[in-house]
Structure 1
Amino acid sequence: KMEMMDKLDLITDSKTAISACNSVVESYQSRLNSINKDVSILIREKDAFFLEKESAERLLTETEKNEEKLNKEYHETEIEYRNSSEKLKKIESELHETGSSLSTEKSKFNLLNDMEKSYEGYNKSVKAVLYANDNRLLENVRVYGTVADIVKVDEKYETAVEMAIGGAMQNIITEDEDDAKAVIQYLRKGNRGRATMMPVSSMKPRWVEDNVLHSMSKMKGFVDTCDRLVSCEDRFSNIIRNLLGRIVVAADYDSAVLMAKAYSYTYRIVTLDGDILQTGGSITGGSVNKVTTSLLSRKRLLSELETTIVKLESKYRSLTSGKQSVSENVAKCKEKMEQLNKNKRDMELERIKYENRLESLLEKLESHAFKIENAKDEKEQFKKEIEKNEAELKELHEKLSGIEKEIDDIKRVIVEFEGQNKHKRQRKDDLVTDITDYKVSVSSIRESIESINNNLQDSERSVQVLLNGINQKNEEITKNQEKIKNVQLELTQLNNDIKGLTEKMTGANLAVVKLDEEKKNIKLEIEEARKATETGNKNILLFKEEENRLNVRSTKIQSDMDALKSRMFDEYEMTFAQAMNIQTQTEEDISPKKISALKNQINSLGSVHVGAIQEYTETKSRYDFLTKQQTEMENAKEKLKRVVYEMNSVMKTKFSEKLKEINKNFKKVFYELFDGGRAELALADNENILESDIEVFVQPPGKNLQNMMLLSGGERSLSAIALLFSIMMLKPTPFCILDEIEAALDDVNVYRFIDYLKTLSDKTQFILITHRKGTMEGSDLLYGVTMQEHGVSHVVAIDAEQIEKTG
């Protein structure tokens, strides 16, 4: 029975162990289910985060592509904006030039047109006839204008033809002698002067004989007869041939002389430069005033100017239209750039948002992956514990089965034994009962202790798991704290960057405001310059018009003289020199006998033209007036030449003296500013002092003598300062303003500059605009301009001498 009791104790122990194992397995299984549930949740969250991450990456990629596309579009728009702006500037410049040219050409056209309408350049009598004809004051009188109106000639032959026609250019063309008579009566009736008529019906052509023309055409320099170089209507051909048929055009003076000698001065010969070889041997020539327009070239110039004006107006309209189109394109590009800038900022903010979201998702995915990995490790650990407990449970069940078999055997033995010893058995049973009760109590206590131990082990395991989890959490917390610190550092850096950018933006805004003000000032200056330019252009046009009027007047006087000479030759076959000789003879004393002989000769002439004396008086008076004017002009010219010569002599002397003094000062100042070296001023052309360039040769210490332009920027600046001081030493000024003159100098040279400047301050007050500290340190008074408030400037003054006195 004792053995049985032991076996029963073993069964009880085994059942207790099995119960404990079952409890542990159930606890492990419950924890395993909880872990599986947590893992499932973490996996679902991870999958959701992963999908969100892919979405964020896709959106980030799209945002970056859109941002790149916006940057590309902005760059293209910016290039288009710059190109359009440059094109607009070019068009505006071309438009200004075209407008100026158009204004100039219109002014020329209006001037010539006014001259044409007012018959400028014609004699008073011719003007009166032309005016009467245009206004239909000559009824039933057929007047076709002047010779200048009917003749057309190429520009290269204009001078030759004009000199060949001479005063006949103003001859009035009528249909017949009756019309010429009506015109003469109109002039006589109104005392309007005299004019030469050329009736179409009575004019006979003149020409050079064919054999002479044939042989002359083979000579060097022969051009053609003058009548064949002009064109006119067929009905006026006799007039042109009468005037020009026997006049030959030669290429140059030498050719003309050879032709004249070959044909014994039988024909008038005109060169392309306007020189005239008269019949009989006299020669007229010299310069031709090409500044003014002649009667012959006026109509051609009017036609050319009209064509030019039409082209310029078309070009101006085209440029105006192009300017409007380009201006609209510039405005569109600017507006588009502003919109693209706004879109870029929005896109950049969106990209930063996606980047932050993606970074957050990656951290969450990393955290969930770590948690899942820990759960899997814990799950594997619990699985191993469950397998171990199941193995122990199986072993306990097998042991329990063996014990139960052994108990059954012992029971059979006991039954047999009980039958033999019932009383002992009863006593034994009581004892066994008591023992059993005690054992049960002990077993119960053991079981409680075992359960407590098992629970304690479970608690220790749970505590260990929790400690592992806590350690992991602490590690995560440590990592997160480091990340938080990094993020805080980045945030601090970003705040500093934002602050710096804000300050820069504030500075940039101030700079923009300043630039806007400068832009407004520049626009005002440009507008003033434009107005001044327009005023200058108007004045230039007025001066040009006045110059043209004076040239026309001069041309008219010259034309009148040529007309008188031509008329004198045509009517009296007398040259200007011959007339002067006759005038000289008439002014000499004549004896009474000679006077009587002359009177007899006059009487023998018969009837004389009564108006000849009046004509001679008027002509002589005009000639005397013109001769006097010519003499006065020549005298004035000679006086001006003498004045200019004297002025040039004085200027050369003064300039040479002052240049030597400046050169001497320059050597001295250069040596002091550079602490050595030498410098020199030299004329590039000693023969032409007043127009010669001045070359500056300098040799800083340790360098070769060379031209100033081969030096460095600082050396050039200091050399220029030395030259400036040299000129100032020649004639000191009361005050001098220097605007950042020492900007290119290094600190050492700045102090040399300010030290030398002080040596000149006893005669000159210097006002310096500077940013250099050395210059400020050497100044007596400092004035600074600050802008503490936007748009409000304050002047701060510092008296260095006062500060030194007060300490």
Structure 2
Amino acid sequence: MLETLDLHGFKSFADRTVFRFAPGLTAVVGPNGSGKSNVVDALKWILGDQSPKSLRGKDMTDVIFNGSGGRKPANLCEAVLTFDNASGFLPDMGKQVAIGRRLWRNGDSEYLVDGQVARLKDVREIFSGTGAGASAYAIIEQGRVDQLLQANAVGRRAVFEEAAGVGRYKLKRIDAERKLERVEQNLARLTDIVDEVEAQLHATRTQAAKAAKFREISEELRHWWHGFAADEYRDGTRRVAELREKLAVDRARQSEVQQRQQELEDRLTALEEELAAADDDLRGVERQRSVFETQFAEAATTVAQLTERAADAEQDLIRARGRVVTSSDSLREAETERAHNREVLENAREQFETLRSRTQAQEASLFNLDSELAELRETLHETQARRTQLGEQIAQDEADLRTSAQRRDDLDLAISQAEQRLAPMLEQLEHAKNEAKTFSADVAECELRCEAAKAAIEEAIDAKASVAERRSRLKNEIAELRERRGAAAARLNVLEDFEQRGEGLGIGVREILNRARSIDDAPWNRIHGTVAELIDVGLDDAPLAEVALGSRAQLIVIDGFSDLAEYLHRRSSRIAGRVGFLSQQPSAYDDSGLSGARYIEAHPVGTAGASSPPGRDGDLAGLPGVVRRADTLIRVTPRFEGLAERLLGDTWVVESLNSAFALSAGYGRGMRFVTLQGELLESDGSLIVGTLRGEVAIVSRRAELLELRRKIAQYDRELRRTEAELTRQSDALRQADRHASEVEIELRTFETQLAEAKRSAVESDRKRTEVEAAAVEAETELERLAQNRNQASATISRAESSIEQCRAQLAAALELHRSSDAQIAQKTDEVERLREQQKGELLTLAKAEERLASLNEGVQRVDRDVAAQRDRLNSGEERLVEATSRISQLQLAILNAGTKKSDALAKREQLDASVREQFVARDRLKARRAEIAKDESKLRAERREQGDRIHETELKVREIEQSLSTMGERIREEYGVELEELAESDESAVKLLLKERQPEPDHASELDESSELDTIESPDSEVDETSEANASEAEEAIDDGDSLTLEEVREELDARVQRLRRKLKTLGSVNADSLADLDELQERYDRLSAQLQDLTEAKRALEDVIRRINKETKRLFSETFDSIRGHFQVLFRQLFGGGEGDIVLEDVTDMLECGIEIVARPPGKELRSLSLLSGGEKTMTCVALLLAIFKSKPSPFCILDEVDAALDEANITRFVRVLKEFKKDTQFIMITHRKPSMCEADVLYGVTMEEAGVSKRMSVHFEDVAEDGSFHTSKKAA
């Protein structure tokens, strides 16, 4: 049961207040707003309530005393609740238990259990299952009745669970479920890891087996391939020497024929030069004749035109002379009139200027007088306003002077009284400060120890949190890396499968590539691969490169077309589909003979399958909308330098389709354009749009393959590094846990010492604060009085000075007013006189101005007439001079034209005879040239035949040399050995074959044993099967003698090498480090499997714990529910005087989670919903339920906060009667306003506010009250 409640600074209880609770019923009464409900808030706050709203505040610091009219706010609040635990109500505690809680203004708080600092979790565990927690059924406050009845069926079961004492089991179950969830997460994560490691282990085992097989086949291939290459080099060197000897003989014969042909060509050239000179002479004579003929015609035309123009000029001369005479007479008359008008105008202008000057002087004088008059009137108005203002100011200052004098006398008296009160307060304050210093030093020392310990704990916690965060982050990183690697590996497998199956390539391209990989004869051994395989494209640029290349990506790059043409001409085989080839030797295209091929497209390097557009060499860089040239999207090895430019040199990347259209119509005419959105505008104007599927976009696919392989390698490196770091962080976390536990034990010891020191310091500080507050208040009052007295004195001085100044200013203003009145009258008379005089002058000026304007207009008109007459005279004289000069010029031109006409006619007749002679000489030269050209043509045909033979021989030499070069480069790339070195050594595939045949004549069995290494055959190996069949036929045709030549066994050796290469290729990519990685992966798999087994066992154990908790919880809840139900039915009838009430489960099969419904039927009424009950009926139903819980699971105390407020007289009587029965076993503390409840109380506490904002306790024991209302003992106050 409750013993005492000690409050200090909690809400309105500013002073220390102690409530002592006796057995039975204790009632707390008081007027509204007196703070009686704060008693219930204090009990909830001590028991661990964390909701400011539940405590009727916005913030938790609102529970600290916030000050009042005469008190300062408190810095902390404290409340302690003491229990009598003699009955063992609180298990594992002493006979008396004190639960306390403190809160400082800065937000710091602490819980106390028997004076020792504790955690909120500790307090809640003490009251768990007792029904006495902060939100348990032992506290029934305002509004709790509606909450309980209006809560949903699931929310209502919380009260029953508290009564059944299953709360601690529920917490254990939640804790176990959380652990189980973590275990399941770890189990799922570890399962994924084990599966991944198992897959890696399986893959590594497979790779290790492949690596061993790969090593064996590689060694066998090296022996046969080196021997075969050495034999080929020796044989090729011999054949080249023979062909070079033949080439020397053919070139000597060709040189002889060329010399004879050159002699004829020189003679032919001389004749051509003579013939050209004759033609030039003939053309020159014809040009001269044409010139003279043209000059004769032009001269005749000119004579006729000039004669006609001379007649027209004579007529113009006559008309000009008449106009000059007329204009001279008119000009003389106009000048006489102009001179007269100007004289009259000058006289009128002088008169007008004189009048205007006099009028302007009068206007200036009048303006000055008006300005002076306005200033005088303004001065008069301001003077009058200033006189009025000064009179009012003098009256106000005199009133302020009288008031301030009286206030100064009153303040002198108040200051004397305040000084007398302050002296004793200062003595008390000094004593309190000395005492506080002593306690503060003790607290400071303890705080330093605690702070040091807390700092150490914080450092340990921070270190632990940092390590834990880092460890968690590392786990997340590992999981994320594994997820990324798995996704990348899955995508890589898909793309490698597409690549291996040749998705996106034409069927013909796949067939050609298969032959190139399996056959080492020309032309297949001269194929390097498709364009897509030979270029390198970044992943970001791959889509654009895909669009730009288009079908060119599938072009097969070959050294030259000669071997391909020879193969096509001598074979009758066909290739499925069309295949495009790209030659590295552009000149070979002209002589290859591929023009007749109907199913192979041949593209020499430099054309890329399309003719070069006219503007291909144009540089579009820098033009609007141009991003870059398309060949910069791809990269190639130095061996194929220039391939990118030849493929995409005519293609540009632009920003949009509009830019492409604009460029194709301008500088980029004939070029191809790719937009950033993937559209392609071809050079012929066709537009290609849309997207390719990723698996058939071979360029993008290969770019993505390279990027995925790089990413997977990077993920593997990061995984190894992160897992090592995770192991180190796990070790650091265990060490941080141990250190944090040690420091926490040390902190608890220091906190106990600090609590004791603070308790003493707080009490001392309280006393000092009270004295200091009183002293400060007195000093403040004294300072305020002194300041007010000084202000009153200053006000008196200012008022006296202001009065004197205002009186002097008033006299000066009066004198100024009189002077301004006299000046205004004088100026007004002078203005009127000037205005009358100005009216006459303005009238005269207007008439003069009108006459002057009329004269000026007449003068201007005459001036215009004179100027027009003079212009006409000048124009006539100019025309007269021009006509005379033109007649003279025309007469001279007629004489010159006649002379030219005669000269041209004579020269034309001379040139006609010269042309006829030169035509005869040119025909003789043409006949001699035809005879020599016939002889030279015969020699040219002979020389061409010699050139063809030489070219054929040179092609064979180049073919052999190219074949040897290609083989040497391949040997160098694969084994780092020079072909010349192999030829000089004793290595020979022919010798190996002879050695093999001697002990093992049955060659077929060896092939069978060798074929056992190859367990998987490619489905796309039609060419391989053909090659093997050819090799078998060659082997059968080989003589079994002891001597073999390379020509006899070349096909057999090539077939053997290709078969070994196919076996290596069938094995696919081989991890050379797989044998070393196998042991490491096996060890990791065993360790992770053991951890997985441990987690599985832990999961089973937690599931078993949860089952046992559920079973025990169900048993306790069922027993408690049945007991509460029976008591509720009885108490409902007692409280209502009849009726029927019941409690039912919504789903009896799910007792641990189902909701609880309350059924109520008051006497004389039908069964209805709880929400339709009246306020009193709801309260009685709730009380019946809570008392039923008390009867089933008694709690030592019960808090009732104005629960009886909604009950009428009849219901409250029954309510009080039921409480009497429960008082024997339960202690009740009731907040009430109702008299029947007060009468039943054993102890009555009154809460009042004698001081505004501060609650005070008053207590009365009923045994101290006589029947007449008088007290046997004096009233006790606290």
Fold match (TM-score > 0.5): no
Report the TM-score range of the alignment, normalised by the length of the smaller protein. 0.3 to 0.5
* Structure with the larger RCO, 1 or 2 (CA within 8 Å, 6+ apart): 2
TM-score normalised to the size of structure 1? 0.33
TM-score normalised to the size of structure 2? 0.22
